[in-house]
Amino acid sequence: MKRLYLLFMLIFLMLIAVGCNGNADPSSSETDSDTTKVTFSYWGGDFDKKRMEAINEEFKKVHPEIEVELVNLPDGEEYSQKQTVMMSAKTPYDVIQFAEESYQFASRGVLEDLTPYIEEDGLDLDQFYPVAIDAYTHDGKVYGLPLRVGSVIMLYNKDLFDQHDLEYPNENWTWDDVVKAGEKIANPEEGIFGMNPIGGWWASTSQTLQSFGGGVLNEEKDAFHLDSPESRKAIEFMKEVTWDKDIAPSSTQIPEGIDLWTSGKIAMMIDGPWHILSSQANIKEFDWDMTTAPAGSQDATPIFSNAFHMAKDSKVKDAAWEVIKFWTGEEAQKILAQEHGDTPTNKEIAESDLYLDLGGKAPENFEMMLTSLEGAYPPQVTSEWGEINRIVQEGMSKMVDLDQPIEEVMPGVKSEVEALLQKLKD
């Protein structure tokens, strides 16, 4: 009860702050008689800011009648809280970037269904990778359009493989292959590991669980599945490579402020495609390449992306739609493609040389970015995504990173998740 009271007080104080600070109010207004302002909130680092500003410059040439105010916000829980507060005050950002939280907000009725806009303009959704659209289609309605998409991939340090006369990983590798190579390469006493920690965030957890035939929830997303035999096997594997085989480091083995991958201390990095841009910028001392994520009993890789949504209470919906349409259209996709990082959701642009030709830079097997999307699946989102994800990841950290027994941790995780699932059914 005390936590609930404090939460209400926090929201109340934030609403007061919004009301008192004119600069914090993102509600749209006419900047002059001929120009409509559209506020656009997103998160991201320097690459994202540069891309968003570049797209905005192109947008101005086509739509001089619309002024887009880009608002970069901190990501994570703080981002979602900011959106909740603004929506509660009926002063939302007009266009909002969401990722896995899309369904959460759509289920609250605070996002506009984009389906009528898509149909009226005859926008062909077949130009996009289906899985990217599916991720933001809830109950048969499209709530967000994505600019980019990615999945779990594997980067590898060619020098470490060469030092041990090992073949490089490829798209046919399984977890068994990863373990065999990792055991030969790993030397924890010298700070060298065969692979990065796995299971530390939802996509890594999902990829490993699904590759063993498991998952956090069942296919219908209405029952707890983390304690299934398949999921348990995956968790035991994560514990084994961390503690028994010493292939992957625990958090205590990672020096503070050190990136084990870019410093050449990890043979295989199984994670997201953002590592490609940082690797190109920061790796100078060794050669590296990439392939798809390893399989277990089956191939499995979740997508992670983000999409642009329209607030239900936006006062400039027609202009907001023009923004969303342009930000996911051909010009914006080409700007993204030239970064050679995340994959453009437009299939034709993604499969063109504009995206795939790196001009001789690593990784040589960059086309694996497209291969990794074959059979990729959207995350298991529900309206309680944030809370379920928090509970599961806290449990995974205890079981894998802290090596606490599965039998001691799992019952508590199951009880909390099942309570949330029951809440969805009531």
Q: What is the pLDDT of residues 286-320, one digit of tens each?
A: 999 999 999 999 999 999 899 999 999 999 999 99
Q: What is the CATH number of the domain that holds 67?
A: 3.40.190.10
Q: What is the pLDDT of residues 310-349, one digit of tens each?
A: 999 999 999 999 999 999 999 999 999 999 999 999 999 9
Q: What is the pTM of this model?
A: 0.89
Confirm whether 347 is domain-assigned.
yes
* Residue 426 pLDDT class (50, 70, 90 cuts): confident
Q: What is the pLDDT of residues 4-37, one digit of tens each?
A: 344 444 444 444 444 444 344 454 444 556 899 9
In this predicted structure, what is the pLDDT of residue 18?
43
Confirm whether 14 is domain-assigned.
no
Mean pLDDT of the chain: 92
Give the structural domain span for 31: 24-150+304-371
Q: What is the pLDDT of residues 201-228, one digit of tens each?
A: 999 999 999 999 999 999 999 999 999 9
Three-state DSSP class for 302? Answer: strand
User: Which of 326, 348, 371 delimits the end of a domain?
Assistant: 371
Confirm whether 6 is domain-assigned.
no
Judged against a pLDDT cut of 60, whether residue 75 lies above it is answered with yes
- Residues ≥6 apart with Cβ < 8 Å to 308: 40, 95, 96, 97, 144, 145, 146, 147, 323, 324, 327, 328
Q: What is the pLDDT of residues 369-394, one digit of tens each?
A: 999 999 899 999 999 998 999 999 99
In this predicted structure, what is the pLDDT of residue 24?
43
Looking at the chain, the whole-number percentage of residues with pLDDT higher than 90 is 89
Confirm whether 9 is domain-assigned.
no
Q: What is the pLDDT of residues 114-129, one digit of tens each?
A: 999 999 999 999 999 9
In this predicted structure, what is the pLDDT of residue 3?
43
Contacts within 8 Å (CB) and 24+ apart, 314-319: 314/28, 314/92, 314/94, 314/95, 314/112, 315/27, 315/28, 315/94, 316/28, 316/36, 316/37, 316/38, 316/94, 317/94, 317/112, 319/28, 319/36, 319/38, 319/66, 319/94
Find the mean pLDDT for residues 346-362. Answer: 97
Residues 296 and 349 in one domain: no
Q: Which of 10-14, 47-51, 65-69, 173-177 has the lowest mean pLDDT?
A: 10-14
Residues 343 and 402 in one domain: no
Q: Which of 153-157, 191-195, 301-305 has the lowest mean pLDDT?
A: 301-305
In this predicted structure, what is the pLDDT of residue 372?
96
Residues 332 and 212 in one domain: no
